[in-house]
């Protein structure tokens, strides 16, 4: 049986705990781990907490040693997560790797007697209230290694939560630059989405949730269509699913641009989607290290993004002019228009974007760093748990 492989010499059993594996950047990284570690010394299981397998989870389920889907009881499962404790014990992990629900999952791993607990901080959507910070500090006491995905998050964890520096290890996200490569636009995909021949495409991929602020992108799109002359018609495509879908549809109708806005939902072949774009856009309120931004850049697509999270760091000094102040619609429209209007600029920005991702944000580097943590941990770390004072 697959479960027995983890007992062989050199094998390390790793159980990932996530809210959901339905769709999103963090979820795609967990899926990438499942694909790459399958059949290696890393024996991977997953536990999700939203009561559904999810699109991403279903796609990699066959690669996992065990896959548990829990539907928690609100309140009770937070205070006493006995169901999660049982599932953690069933996977017999050497390492529990938490991606969300830090306090709940860390407590469950602690109660289950797990030897090593790793938590990845993928991003903060807002300034957390005092209760959440208190719970995070408690969770840090049961966590051996805390992994922020950017230096900015590293600083937050040190200064705001008091996590000891010797328990922190920044690992920037990575993507498969052999999958996400420049290529020809798919005429079939354009036809499926009802994009007129010759139209330019502005687009994004992400969760349709408030933090992504896609209503701002629709606002900017409406301004572009109304006030800025372009040689070709312009269409906006936002792929993903989430609680804001209906609100975004209403917003597009209210602004009179619904005829040129597409919300096709989940996309199975994101690389094909990126290659269709002239410009990839993020208008988020907050980001960690955006996986969709990295994927679009690897496909050679020119980005225009707000200066939140690690967006500016991902683009670097060479592409600084493609980063606009958060919430500044006028600046976003100006940069987006300049990029859409100039094929030469788009091509040069796209080449620079691809080069930067290949050089710094490869999936191989990302997976190697995590494998080292799974196998050896932080060799220099003291025996005591992370400080959470």
CATH number of the domain residue 272 falls in? 3.40.50.2000
Q: Do the beta carbons of residue 336 and residue 304 sit within 8 Å? A: yes
For the chain, 389 residues long, give each residue's pLDDT as a single digit of tens.
344 444 556 899 999 999 988 877 888 899 999 999 999 999 999 999 988 888 888 989 999 999 999 987 765 555 668 999 999 999 999 999 999 889 999 999 999 999 999 999 998 756 677 888 899 999 999 999 999 999 989 999 999 899 999 999 999 999 999 999 999 999 999 999 999 989 999 999 998 999 999 999 999 999 999 988 788 999 999 999 889 999 999 999 999 999 999 999 988 889 999 999 999 999 999 888 899 999 999 999 999 999 998 899 999 999 999 999 998 999 999 999 999 999 999 999 999 999 999 999 999 999 999 999 999 987 644 333 333 33
φ and ψ at residue 230, rounded to 5 degrees: -125, 150
Same domain? For 101 and 199 the reply is: no
Token pair listed for 15: 């159980």
125: containing domain: 2-174+363-376
Same domain? For 193 and 207 the reply is: yes
Cα separation of 125 and 153, whole Å?
A: 11
Same domain? For 130 and 170 the reply is: yes
Q: Do the beta carbons of residue 91 and residue 64 sit within 8 Å? A: no
Q: Do the beta carbons of residue 212 and residue 206 sit within 8 Å? A: yes
The strands making up 67-69's β-sheet, listed across from edge to edge, are 67-69, 42-48, 12-18, 95-98, 116-121, 145-148
Cα separation of 283 and 307, whole Å?
A: 9
Same domain? For 31 and 74 the reply is: yes
DSSP per-residue codes, 337-379: HHHHH-HHHHHHHHHHHHHHHHHH-BHHHHHHHHHHHHHH--T
Among 81, 73, 71, smallest CA distance to 112 is for 81
The SS3 of residue 210 is helix
């Amino acid at each position: 049986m697959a479960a027995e492989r983890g007992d062989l010499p050199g094998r390390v059993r790793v159980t990932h705990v996530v809210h959901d594996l339905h769709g999103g950047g963090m979820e795609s990284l967990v899926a990438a781990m499942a694909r790459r570690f399958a059949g290696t010394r890393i024996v991977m299981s997953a536990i999700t907490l939203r009561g559904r397998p999810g699109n991403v989870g279903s796609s990699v389920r066959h690669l996992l040693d065990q896959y548990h889907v829990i539907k928690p009881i609100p309140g009770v499962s937070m205070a006493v997560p006995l169901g999660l404790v049982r599932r953690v014990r069933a996977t017999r992990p050497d390492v529990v790797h938490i991606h969300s629900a830090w306090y709940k999952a860390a407590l469950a791993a602690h109660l289950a007697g797990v030897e090593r607990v790793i938590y990845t901080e993928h991003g903060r959507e807002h300034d957390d209230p005092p209760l959440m910070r208190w719970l995070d500090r408690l969770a840090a006491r049961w966590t051996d290694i805390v992994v922020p995905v950017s230096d900015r998050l590293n600083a937050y964890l040190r200064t705001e939560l008091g996590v000891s520096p010797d328990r922190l290890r920044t690992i920037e996200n990575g993507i498969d630059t052999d999958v996400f490569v420049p290529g020809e636009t798919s005429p079939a995909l354009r036809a499926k989405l009802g994009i007129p021949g010759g139209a330019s495409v502005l687009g994004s991929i992400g969760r349709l949730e408030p933090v992504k602020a896609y209503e701002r992108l629709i606002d900017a799109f409406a301004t572009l269509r109304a006030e800025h002359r372009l040689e070709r018609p312009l269409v906006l495509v936002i792929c993903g699913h989430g609680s804001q879908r209906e609100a975004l549809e209403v917003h597009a109708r209210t602004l009179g641009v619904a005829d040129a806005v597409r919300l096709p939902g989940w996309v199975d072949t994101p690389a094909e989607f990126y290659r269709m774009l002239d410009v990839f856009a993020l208008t988020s309120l907050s980001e960690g290290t955006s996986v969709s931004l990295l994927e679009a850049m690897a496909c050679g697509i020119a980005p225009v993004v707000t200066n939140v999270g690690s967006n500016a760091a991902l683009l670097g000094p060479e592409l600084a002019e493609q980063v606009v102040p958060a919430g500044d619609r006028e600046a976003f429209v100006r940069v987006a228009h300049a990029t859409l209007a100039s094929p030469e600029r788009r091509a040069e920005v796209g080449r620079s974007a691809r080069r930067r991702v290949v050089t710094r944000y490869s999936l191989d580097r990302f997976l190697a760093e995590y494998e080292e943590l799974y196998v050896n941990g932080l060799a220099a770390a003291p025996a005591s748990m992370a400080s959470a004072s």
